[in-house]
Amino acid sequence: EGITSFSTFPLRIWTYIGLAVAGVAFLYGAWMIFDTLAFGNAVRGYPSLLVSILFLGGIQLIGIGVLGEYIGRIYIETKARPKYIIKKVGQIK
């Protein structure tokens, strides 16, 4: 409760994790294509399946992160807390 009550950062983490996973999958897929075209090493079997699963998993995590951002903002808005708390009111001279 204490971690998620005042911030949406734990929800935002999933967007960053999804971007990282999709980025790694994209780079690994680009390396596989480059390796095949430049050196003639045909990639068979599991590496191409791994790239596909990682990329789609990364896209899903990005989607979960975006939904989490919306839900977090809705939650913060419905709590109706003031943005600022005035400790002391003084006069201007």
User: What local confidence, expressed as pLDDT, does residue 62 receive?
Assistant: 96
Q: Residue ranges per domain, the chain? A: 9-79
Q: Which tens digit of pLDDT belongs to each residue from 22-48?
A: 999 999 999 999 999 999 998 888 999
pLDDT of 1 higher than 70: no
Contact 8, 69 (CB under 8 A): yes
CB neighbour list of residue 69: distance below 8 Å, 6 or more residues apart: 8, 11, 12, 15
How far apart, in whole angstroms, are the C-alpha atoms of residue 59 and residue 64? 9
pLDDT bracket for residue 52 (50, 70, 90): very high
Contact 24, 59 (CB under 8 A): no
